[in-house]
Structure 1
Amino acid sequence: MTEAIRAYNDPERARKYHTQRAFDPPRKARMFEVMLDILQALLPSGGKVLELGAGTGDFSKVLLDSGFFSQIQVTDGAEEMLSLARQDLHSEQVTFQLLDFTKPWTAPEPLDAMVSSMALHHAPDKLFTVQQAFQNLRPGGVLLIGDHVAGATPQTHHLIALERARVKQVPAEEVPDWVEQDQEAQARQGNICEPLDVYLSVLQQAGFLHVDCLWRDYWMAVFLAVKPYE
């Protein structure tokens, strides 16, 4: 377990994460819409899906409310986060499991789909994490990742930082200091954000097909990967 994941076992931090919901709720909500649309386009109704690093269950609730899935497995590496998810997700379709995606793991049966929302930037070895996902999907299964991403160059990464400052409505004269503080905060939280090409590369290395980034809005992106049929 990484320090970043372990930190969310602190009850106060988990509660704060749960009540604040998101740095930029409209942008995150749009990402969730895109992810759900993709899943519904690729999977038969009644499929089984597992969420890696589900936190307090924001996207799992979107999956449940859609009525599309027969089983939703909510997993996270922090028990405090799962505890809060249990309070919000009341359904026989939903199960909960303490699962650290930075370690080897095995699902009870091959999954139709696996999703991860705003979690894999905590994984120091993203190739290992997506390899584990590959092994636990059925042939033809879908991996869908929505996550923080970094800019491909220092210049584009700076533009991302300026957009974050705009969302926070930081006064113009305070933007340079705020950008520096935001970057320091990301580092303290153990956020290991990578450019798009890193995500695309590790998904291809893991053996997935149809690897693509289907949506991006500054620092948030959605990646699709499909396990080939045997």
Structure 2
Amino acid sequence: MTDAIRAYHDPDRARRYHTQHAFDPPRKARMFEVMLDTLRALIPAGGRVLELGAGSGDFTKVLLDSGFFSRIEATDGAEEMLSLAQSEITAEQVSFRLLDFTRPWSAPEPLDAIVSSMALHHAPDKLFSFQQAFQALRPGGVLVIGDHIAGATPHTHRLISLERARVKQIPEAQVPDWILQDEQAQAAQGNICEPLDVYLNVLQQAGFMHVDCLWRDHWMAVVLALKPYE
């Protein structure tokens, strides 16, 4: 388990995450829309989906409200986060499981889809995490990731930082100091953001096909990967 995941075992930290407004809600909402639309386009209605790093259930609620899935298994490595999700989501088609995606795991039966929203940047070994997902999917199964990503070069990463400062409405004179503080805060939280090409290359190494980025807006992206039919 990484320090970033372990931090959310703290009840106060988990509650703050759950109750505070998400950073840049419109961008997050659009990411959720793209993820859901992708799932609906690629798996049959009534499919079974497992969510890695469900946190307090933001995307779990989107999956449930769609009415598209027969079973939704929400998993997270922090028990406190799962407890918050369970306190608000009581639908019978949703189950909850404590699962650390940085360690070996399995599904009782092959899954139609695996999703992860703003969680896999906590994984230090993304190849291992993607290999675990590959093994849990049925042939033809779908992996959809919405995550924070880094710029491919120092120049583009700075442009991302400038956009984050704009969203935060940081006064122009304070932007350089704020960018430095933001980078330090991300590192302290254990966020291991990778450039988009790292995600795409590592997913292919894990055995996935049709790997592509379907949507990107500065530091957020939606990535698709399909497990080949045997």
TM-score w.r.t. length of structure 2: 0.99
**Number of residue equivalences:** 230
- Structure 2 unaligned runs (5+)? none
Q: Deviations over 1:147-194 (max 9, x none)?
A: 000000000000000000000000000000000000000000000000
SS in 1 for 2:44: coil
Matches within 5 A, 1:1-230: 1-230=1-230
Question: In structure 2, how many angstroms separate the alpha carbons of the residues matched to 1:21 and 1:211?
Answer: 32
2-side partners of 1:203 and 1:105: how far apart?
18
Give the Cα–Cα distance (whole angstroms) in 2 for the partners of residues 79 and 197 of structure 1.
32
Find the residue that maps to 1:33 and give its secondary structure: helix
Gaps of 5+ in 1: none
Q: Deviations over 1:85-118 (max 9, x none)?
A: 0011110000000000000011010000000000
Query: Distance between the aligned counterparts of 1:146 and 1:114, measured in 2?
Result: 11
Q: Distance in 1 between matches of 2:166 and 2:90?
A: 37
Q: How much is the aligned-residue C-alpha RMSD, in angstroms? A: 0.5
SS in 2 for 1:102: coil
Three-state SS of the structure 2 residue aligned to 1:223 is strand
Query: Matched residue of 2:190: which SS?
Result: coil
Instruction: Tell me how far apart the structure 2 counterparts of residues 33 and 20 of structure 1 sit (CA, whole Å).
Output: 21
Task: Write the distance in 1 (CA, Å) between the matches of 2:173 and 2:152.
Answer: 26
Mapped partners of 2:4, 2:157: distance in 1: 22
Once residues 21 and 171 of structure 1 are traced to their aligned partners in structure 2, the CA distance between those partners, rounded to angstroms, is 21
| 1:113-150, Cα deviation, whole Å (9 max, x unpaired) | 00000000000000000000000000000000000000
Q: Which amino acid aligns with 2:183?
A: Q
Q: Amino acid of the residue matched to residue 75 of structure 1? A: T
Q: 1: CA distance between counterparts of 2:174 and 2:98?
A: 41
Aligned amino acid, residue 62 of structure 2: V
1:84 maps to amino acid: L
Q: Take 1:162 and 1:42, find their aligned partners in 2: how far apart are those partners? A: 35
Report the CA distance between 1:67 and its aligned residue: 0.1
Matched position secondary structure for 1:138: strand
Runs of 4+ more than 2 Å apart:
none
- CA distance in 2 between counterparts of 1:61 and 1:229 reads 30
What SS is found at the alignment partner of 1:82? helix
Residue 21 of structure 1: how far off its partner (Å): 4.2
Code of the residue aligned with 1:152 in structure 2: it is: A
Task: Write the distance in 2 (CA, Å) between the matches of 1:65 and 1:20.
Answer: 22
Give the residue type in structure 2 aligned to 1:72: I
The TM-score normalised by the length of structure 1 is 0.99
